[in-house]
Amino acid sequence: MDYKNIFDSHAHYDDEQFNDDKEALLSSFKEGGICGCITCGTNTVNSLSAIALAEKYDFMYAAVGLHPLDIEDEENENFIDFFRSLSKHEKVVAIGEIGLDYHYDTAPREKQIEVLEKQILLAKELDLPVIIHDRESHEDILNILKKHKPKGVVHCFSGSVEMMREVVKLGMYIGLGGAVTFKNAKKPVEVAFEVPADRLLIETDAPYMTPVPFRGKRNSSLLIPFTAEKIAEARSATAQEILDLTSKNAKELFNIAY
Protein backbone atom coordinates (compact mmCIF):
# COMPACT_ATOMS: atom_id res chain seq x y z
CA MET A 1 0.00 0.00 0.00
CA ASP A 2 1.94 2.96 -1.25
CA TYR A 3 -0.38 5.89 -1.79
CA LYS A 4 0.19 9.61 -2.01
CA ASN A 5 -1.86 12.79 -2.16
CA ILE A 6 -4.07 11.83 0.80
CA PHE A 7 -6.20 14.70 2.13
CA ASP A 8 -8.05 13.84 5.34
CA SER A 9 -10.91 16.35 5.42
CA HIS A 10 -12.01 15.59 8.99
CA ALA A 11 -10.11 14.47 12.11
CA HIS A 12 -9.76 15.32 15.80
CA TYR A 13 -6.05 15.26 16.66
CA ASP A 14 -6.62 17.11 19.94
CA ASP A 15 -8.38 13.97 21.23
CA GLU A 16 -6.79 12.47 24.34
CA GLN A 17 -6.32 9.15 22.53
CA PHE A 18 -3.41 10.83 20.73
CA ASN A 19 -1.79 12.21 23.88
CA ASP A 20 0.95 9.60 24.15
CA ASP A 21 2.32 9.55 20.62
CA LYS A 22 0.88 12.56 18.78
CA GLU A 23 4.21 14.02 17.75
CA ALA A 24 5.64 10.76 16.43
CA LEU A 25 2.39 9.96 14.64
CA LEU A 26 1.92 13.36 12.97
CA SER A 27 5.61 13.51 12.04
CA SER A 28 5.17 10.27 10.08
CA PHE A 29 2.27 11.61 8.00
CA LYS A 30 4.27 13.06 5.11
CA GLU A 31 6.07 9.77 4.63
CA GLY A 32 2.64 8.08 4.76
CA GLY A 33 1.49 10.12 1.75
CA ILE A 34 -0.64 12.64 3.60
CA CYS A 35 -0.64 16.04 1.95
CA GLY A 36 -3.36 17.70 4.01
CA CYS A 37 -5.53 17.24 7.07
CA ILE A 38 -8.21 19.28 8.79
CA THR A 39 -8.38 18.89 12.55
CA CYS A 40 -11.75 20.03 13.88
CA GLY A 41 -12.57 21.71 17.14
CA THR A 42 -15.80 20.89 18.95
CA ASN A 43 -15.75 23.68 21.58
CA THR A 44 -13.86 26.86 22.43
CA VAL A 45 -11.01 25.08 24.22
CA ASN A 46 -10.14 22.44 21.63
CA SER A 47 -10.72 24.86 18.74
CA LEU A 48 -7.70 26.70 20.15
CA SER A 49 -5.68 23.47 20.32
CA ALA A 50 -6.68 22.71 16.71
CA ILE A 51 -5.10 26.02 15.69
CA ALA A 52 -1.98 25.25 17.73
CA LEU A 53 -1.58 21.95 15.85
CA ALA A 54 -2.10 23.69 12.52
CA GLU A 55 0.67 26.13 13.42
CA LYS A 56 3.03 23.27 14.16
CA TYR A 57 2.54 21.14 11.01
CA ASP A 58 2.41 22.65 7.55
CA PHE A 59 -0.02 19.99 6.22
CA MET A 60 -2.45 20.61 9.11
CA TYR A 61 -5.39 23.03 8.91
CA ALA A 62 -7.97 23.87 11.56
CA ALA A 63 -11.74 24.18 11.79
CA VAL A 64 -13.28 25.98 14.76
CA GLY A 65 -16.79 25.53 16.10
CA LEU A 66 -19.17 24.31 18.77
CA HIS A 67 -20.39 20.72 18.33
CA PRO A 68 -23.98 19.88 19.41
CA LEU A 69 -22.67 17.41 22.02
CA ASP A 70 -20.52 20.17 23.58
CA ILE A 71 -23.31 22.71 23.96
CA GLU A 72 -24.06 21.90 27.58
CA ASP A 73 -20.43 22.31 28.60
CA GLU A 74 -20.21 25.63 26.87
CA GLU A 75 -20.48 28.44 29.37
CA ASN A 76 -19.19 31.21 27.19
CA GLU A 77 -22.26 33.02 25.87
CA ASN A 78 -20.03 34.97 23.51
CA PHE A 79 -18.86 31.90 21.61
CA ILE A 80 -19.72 33.44 18.26
CA ASP A 81 -17.44 36.42 18.88
CA PHE A 82 -14.75 34.03 20.07
CA PHE A 83 -14.92 31.88 16.93
CA ARG A 84 -15.03 35.02 14.78
CA SER A 85 -11.73 36.14 16.25
CA LEU A 86 -10.17 32.65 15.93
CA SER A 87 -11.18 32.46 12.30
CA LYS A 88 -8.87 35.36 11.46
CA HIS A 89 -5.98 32.91 11.81
CA GLU A 90 -4.54 32.05 8.40
CA LYS A 91 -4.84 28.29 8.99
CA VAL A 92 -8.50 28.28 9.98
CA VAL A 93 -10.27 27.03 6.85
CA ALA A 94 -13.80 26.23 8.10
CA ILE A 95 -16.42 26.60 10.82
CA GLY A 96 -16.87 23.12 12.30
CA GLU A 97 -17.59 20.73 13.62
CA ILE A 98 -21.15 22.00 13.99
CA GLY A 99 -24.54 20.36 13.50
CA LEU A 100 -27.29 18.36 15.16
CA ASP A 101 -27.12 15.14 17.17
CA TYR A 102 -30.52 13.56 17.81
CA HIS A 103 -28.94 10.25 18.81
CA TYR A 104 -27.52 11.47 22.12
CA ASP A 105 -29.73 14.59 22.35
CA THR A 106 -27.54 16.03 25.13
CA ALA A 107 -28.95 19.52 24.51
CA PRO A 108 -32.59 20.34 23.68
CA ARG A 109 -33.18 20.26 19.92
CA GLU A 110 -34.31 23.90 19.76
CA LYS A 111 -31.03 24.89 21.41
CA GLN A 112 -29.01 22.73 19.02
CA ILE A 113 -30.73 24.35 16.04
CA GLU A 114 -30.19 27.85 17.43
CA VAL A 115 -26.45 27.23 17.99
CA LEU A 116 -26.09 25.65 14.53
CA GLU A 117 -27.85 28.49 12.72
CA LYS A 118 -25.77 31.13 14.51
CA GLN A 119 -22.60 29.39 13.37
CA ILE A 120 -23.79 28.96 9.79
CA LEU A 121 -24.49 32.70 9.68
CA LEU A 122 -20.99 33.35 11.05
CA ALA A 123 -19.48 31.13 8.33
CA LYS A 124 -21.40 33.02 5.66
CA GLU A 125 -20.30 36.36 7.11
CA LEU A 126 -16.67 35.16 6.98
CA ASP A 127 -17.09 33.44 3.59
CA LEU A 128 -15.88 30.14 5.12
CA PRO A 129 -17.28 26.64 4.49
CA VAL A 130 -19.07 24.73 7.26
CA ILE A 131 -18.36 21.16 8.41
CA ILE A 132 -21.70 19.62 9.34
CA HIS A 133 -22.38 16.80 11.81
CA ASP A 134 -25.75 15.09 11.16
CA ARG A 135 -26.65 12.20 13.44
CA GLU A 136 -30.23 10.98 13.10
CA SER A 137 -31.28 14.53 12.22
CA HIS A 138 -31.42 14.35 8.41
CA GLU A 139 -34.68 16.23 7.92
CA ASP A 140 -33.80 19.22 10.11
CA ILE A 141 -30.26 19.40 8.71
CA LEU A 142 -31.56 19.44 5.14
CA ASN A 143 -34.13 22.14 5.94
CA ILE A 144 -31.51 24.32 7.64
CA LEU A 145 -29.06 23.88 4.75
CA LYS A 146 -31.81 24.79 2.27
CA LYS A 147 -32.72 27.85 4.32
CA HIS A 148 -29.18 29.28 4.68
CA LYS A 149 -27.34 27.73 1.68
CA PRO A 150 -23.85 27.72 3.19
CA LYS A 151 -20.91 26.21 1.34
CA GLY A 152 -19.35 23.21 3.01
CA VAL A 153 -19.56 19.48 3.64
CA VAL A 154 -21.90 17.08 5.41
CA HIS A 155 -19.26 14.92 7.07
CA CYS A 156 -19.54 11.18 7.76
CA PHE A 157 -22.56 11.26 5.50
CA SER A 158 -25.17 8.73 6.68
CA GLY A 159 -28.20 9.79 4.65
CA SER A 160 -29.81 8.19 1.63
CA VAL A 161 -28.87 8.65 -2.02
CA GLU A 162 -31.91 10.96 -2.33
CA MET A 163 -30.67 13.18 0.50
CA MET A 164 -27.16 13.17 -1.01
CA ARG A 165 -28.64 14.52 -4.24
CA GLU A 166 -30.39 17.33 -2.34
CA VAL A 167 -27.16 18.25 -0.52
CA VAL A 168 -25.20 18.22 -3.79
CA LYS A 169 -27.86 20.35 -5.46
CA LEU A 170 -27.16 22.99 -2.81
CA GLY A 171 -23.53 23.02 -3.96
CA MET A 172 -22.25 21.18 -0.91
CA TYR A 173 -19.86 18.25 -0.58
CA ILE A 174 -20.32 14.73 0.84
CA GLY A 175 -17.71 13.40 3.29
CA LEU A 176 -17.22 9.62 3.39
CA GLY A 177 -15.10 7.76 5.92
CA GLY A 178 -14.54 4.39 7.57
CA ALA A 179 -18.27 3.59 7.62
CA VAL A 180 -18.14 2.60 3.93
CA THR A 181 -15.95 -0.36 4.90
CA PHE A 182 -18.28 -1.72 7.59
CA LYS A 183 -19.92 -5.06 6.85
CA ASN A 184 -23.48 -3.70 7.15
CA ALA A 185 -22.74 -0.53 5.15
CA LYS A 186 -25.37 -0.42 2.43
CA LYS A 187 -26.34 3.24 2.20
CA PRO A 188 -22.78 4.66 2.40
CA VAL A 189 -21.67 2.33 -0.41
CA GLU A 190 -24.66 3.37 -2.55
CA VAL A 191 -23.77 6.99 -1.87
CA ALA A 192 -20.11 6.30 -2.73
CA PHE A 193 -21.28 4.89 -6.06
CA GLU A 194 -23.70 7.71 -6.88
CA VAL A 195 -22.04 10.88 -5.58
CA PRO A 196 -20.73 13.18 -8.36
CA ALA A 197 -16.92 13.04 -8.62
CA ASP A 198 -16.53 16.74 -7.96
CA ARG A 199 -18.50 16.58 -4.70
CA LEU A 200 -16.74 13.75 -2.86
CA LEU A 201 -14.42 14.22 0.14
CA ILE A 202 -12.63 11.49 2.09
CA GLU A 203 -12.10 11.63 5.85
CA THR A 204 -11.27 9.66 8.99
CA ASP A 205 -13.06 11.36 11.92
CA ALA A 206 -9.97 10.05 13.77
CA PRO A 207 -9.74 8.71 16.43
CA TYR A 208 -13.25 7.38 15.62
CA MET A 209 -14.85 5.49 12.68
CA THR A 210 -11.84 3.25 12.04
CA PRO A 211 -12.10 1.34 8.75
CA VAL A 212 -12.10 -2.45 8.49
CA PRO A 213 -9.77 -4.34 9.13
CA PHE A 214 -8.83 -2.11 12.09
CA ARG A 215 -12.38 -1.37 13.24
CA GLY A 216 -12.47 -0.97 17.03
CA LYS A 217 -8.90 0.35 17.18
CA ARG A 218 -7.84 3.99 17.12
CA ASN A 219 -8.19 5.64 13.71
CA SER A 220 -5.64 7.92 12.03
CA SER A 221 -5.19 9.51 8.62
CA LEU A 222 -2.69 6.76 7.77
CA LEU A 223 -5.64 4.33 7.49
CA ILE A 224 -7.48 6.35 4.81
CA PRO A 225 -6.29 4.00 2.01
CA PHE A 226 -8.66 1.29 3.33
CA THR A 227 -11.58 3.67 2.89
CA ALA A 228 -10.28 4.84 -0.50
CA GLU A 229 -10.01 1.23 -1.70
CA LYS A 230 -13.64 0.56 -0.75
CA ILE A 231 -14.89 3.72 -2.46
CA ALA A 232 -12.76 2.86 -5.49
CA GLU A 233 -14.38 -0.57 -5.66
CA ALA A 234 -17.86 1.03 -5.64
CA ARG A 235 -16.89 3.47 -8.40
CA SER A 236 -14.77 1.14 -10.57
CA ALA A 237 -11.76 3.40 -10.07
CA THR A 238 -8.36 2.95 -8.48
CA ALA A 239 -7.80 4.00 -4.88
CA GLN A 240 -5.14 6.48 -6.01
CA GLU A 241 -7.66 8.07 -8.39
CA ILE A 242 -10.08 8.48 -5.46
CA LEU A 243 -7.31 10.01 -3.33
CA ASP A 244 -6.30 12.42 -6.12
CA LEU A 245 -9.91 13.42 -6.70
CA THR A 246 -10.80 13.95 -3.03
CA SER A 247 -7.58 15.84 -2.41
CA LYS A 248 -8.35 18.21 -5.28
CA ASN A 249 -11.93 18.66 -4.04
CA ALA A 250 -10.82 19.37 -0.45
CA LYS A 251 -8.33 21.99 -1.59
CA GLU A 252 -11.03 23.67 -3.66
CA LEU A 253 -13.66 23.68 -0.91
CA PHE A 254 -11.28 24.81 1.83
CA ASN A 255 -9.47 27.26 -0.44
CA ILE A 256 -6.03 25.73 0.10
CA ALA A 257 -3.30 26.60 -2.41
CA TYR A 258 -1.95 23.70 -4.47
Binding-residue pattern over the window 153 to 182 for Ni ion, x denoting contact by CB under 5 A: ------------------------------
Give Cβ neighbours of residue 206 (< 8 Å, ≥ 6 apart). 8, 11, 12, 13, 15, 218, 219, 220, 221, 223
What are the C-alpha distances in Å from 232 to residues 22, 128, 186, 229, 255? 29, 29, 15, 5, 25
User: Is the CB of 101 or the CB of 244 nearer to Ni ion?
Assistant: 101
Minimum CB separation from Ni ion for residue 241, in Å?
26
Minimum CB separation from Ni ion for residue 10, in Å?
6
How many H-runs (helices) and E-runs (strands) does the chain carry? Answer: 9, 8
Q: Pick one of 205, 206, 210, 226: the residue that binds Ni ion (CB under 5 A).
A: 205
Rounded Cα distance between 81 and 114, Å, is 15
101 interacts with Ni ion by CB under 5 A? no
Return the bridge partners of 62, or none.
Answer: 39, 92
Binding-residue pattern over the window 79 to 98 for Ni ion, x denoting contact by CB under 5 A: ------------------x-
70 interacts with Ni ion by CB under 5 A? no
14 interacts with Ni ion by CB under 5 A? no
Task: Please give the residue ranges that form the binding site for Ni ion (CB under 5 A).
Answer: 97, 205
